[in-house]
């Protein structure tokens, strides 16, 4: 029996499944797994048929009958982790569900996001002090106590910050692959090809705090003969092609959960996807649909109540981040003002507070506008 340690195996389930399958093709069958030490144990199996593996995360202890009927068997069960094996002796019709893994990844992402925000705020004053040193060449700091202890105390949050960043990137990438890997590839190819066809582009920052304003701007651009054909990766630049004036309805949509079914549903209804951002906190899509003058204006969602819920969800998401950030920076601003007077750092903190406050007002006004709009119907 041989063992291999894979410390971050659960951060990329698809890669772990491929690795287990490749080990099977080399004649090594999975025999055991220690979830605490992250070690996988294999035995050499002579004259065995190569198997494929799937990993699921669920409470149930019994394998669903449909999977058993299709030839799947459970080889490892540790806690909520289930590792299933299929010998590929016949065509596979059903596969284990991924929802449990996706939900677990999301919970971990929320945890690491909280840690990332906390340690980012804790480290930010040190970052600004370093930037100030680079800009002015002056760095007057007095260390009280053992300097090595102080440095060790700073290294711990730095390492935790790096670990949180790494975990967020890996988990977010894994969920994208599990949810809509096919759609993401199609969209990426489309964005690259259409950007080359654009006649001009325009920058648009912070539009997520007032998506209805962005919709109105894009529709006015289309009426002026400038049709949106692509958006940059991070949504900061919009690419247009000059055409004859058109009536185009644009809808900016935010969702907590996205998968291939979401894109297929709207595409089958005649909508064209122009932008999709599938980050952990930002899951935005921009849809477009051409209509003739005199026709009813297309709507991505017909239910007015759903539109108000959508606006509330967008506002709550932004406010949940902005209010703590504003409070932290106000506290830092006050301390700097009391003990250091007016300095460059104080000015930077003041600008950040004003910018965050502006975002907060924009997001709140967006919800207020949508509420009035829904109440008119």
For the chain, what are the domain ranges?
A: 2-96, 100-179, 198-300, 309-375
Which whole number is the average pLDDT over 124-145? 56
Cα separation, 167 vs 169, in Å, equals 6
In whole angstroms, what is the distance from residue 38 CA to residue 257 CA? 30
What is the spatial distance between Cα 347 and Cα 340, in angstroms, rounded to a whole number?
12
Residue 137, burial from CB neighbour count under 10 angstroms (0-12, 13-18, 19+): exposed
Q: Which of 57-66, 112-121, 162-171 has the highest mean pLDDT?
A: 162-171
pLDDT of 35 > 50? The answer is: yes
pLDDT bucket at 118, cuts 50 / 70 / 90: confident
pLDDT for res 147? 47
- pLDDT tens digits, one per residue of 43-70: 987 766 788 899 999 887 778 888 888 8
pLDDT at 174: 86
Asked if 290 and 247 touch (Cβ cutoff 8 Å), the reply is yes
Determine whether 135 is exposed, middle or buried from the number of CB atoms within 10 Å of its CB (0-12, 13-18, 19+): exposed
Of 261, 263, 251, 260, the closest CA to residue 291 belongs to 251
Q: In angstroms, what CA-CA distances link 64 with 25, 84, 145?
A: 26, 12, 62
Residues of the chain above pLDDT 90, percent: 17
Nearest alpha carbon to residue 320 among 257, 277, 258, 364? 364
Please report the pLDDT score of residue 129 as a whole number.
60
Per-residue pLDDT of 240-255, as tens digits, reads 999 999 999 999 988 8
Q: In what order do the strands lie in the sheet with 81-86?
A: 52-57, 81-86, 73-78
CA 219 to chain centre: 28
Regarding beta strands 73-78 and 200-203, do their DSSP bridges make them parallel or antiparallel, or are they unpaired? unpaired
Better pLDDT: 333 or 279: 333
pTM for the complete prediction? 0.57
* Predicted pLDDT of residue 121: 73
């Amino acid at each position: 029996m041989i063992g291999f340690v894979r410390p971050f195996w659960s951060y990329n389930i698809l890669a772990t499944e491929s690795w287990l399958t490749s080990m099977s093709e080399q004649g090594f069958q999975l025999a055991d797994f220690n979830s605490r030490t992250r070690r996988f144990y294999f035995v050499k199996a002579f004259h065995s048929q190569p198997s494929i593996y799937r990993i699921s995360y669920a409470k149930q202890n019994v394998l669903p009958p449909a999977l058993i009927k299709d030839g799947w068997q459970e080889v490892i069960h540790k806690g909520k982790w289930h590792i299933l094996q299929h010998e590929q002796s016949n065509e596979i019709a059903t596969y284990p569900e991924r929802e449990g893994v996706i939900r677990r990844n999301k919970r971990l992402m929320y945890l690491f996001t909280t840690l990332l925000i906390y340690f980012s705020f804790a480290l930010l004053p040190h970052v600004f002090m370093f930037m100030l040193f680079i800009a002015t060449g002056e760095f007057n700091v007095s260390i009280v106590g053992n300097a090595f202890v102080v440095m060790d105390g700073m290294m711990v949050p730095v390492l935790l910050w790096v670990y949180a960043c790494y975990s967020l990137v890996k988990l977010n990438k894994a969920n994208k692959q599990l949810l809509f890997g096919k759609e993401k590839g199609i969209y990426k190819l489309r964005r690259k090809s259409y950007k080359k066809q654009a006649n001009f582009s325009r920058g648009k920052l912070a539009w997520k705090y007032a998506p209805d304003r962005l919709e109105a701007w894009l529709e006015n651009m289309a009426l002026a003969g400038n049709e949106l054909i692509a958006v940059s990766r991070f949504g900061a630049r919009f690419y247009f092609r000059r055409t004859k004036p058109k009536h185009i309805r644009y809808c900016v949509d935010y969702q907590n959960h996205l998968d291939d079914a979401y894109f297929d549903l709207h595409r089958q209804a005649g909508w064209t996807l122009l932008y999709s951002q599938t980050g952990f906190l930002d899951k935005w899509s921009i849809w477009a649909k051409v209509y003739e003058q005199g026709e009813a204006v297309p709507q991505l969602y017909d239910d007015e109540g759903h539109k108000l819920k959508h606006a509330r969800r967008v506002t709550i998401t932004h406010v949940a981040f902005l209010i703590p950030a504003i409070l932290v920076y106000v506290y830092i601003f006050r301390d700097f003002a009391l003990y250091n007077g007016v300095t460059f750092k104080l000015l930077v903190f003041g600008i950040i507070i004003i910018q965050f406050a502006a975002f907060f007002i924009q997001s709140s006004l967006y919800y207020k506008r949508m509420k009035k709009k829904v109440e008119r119907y």
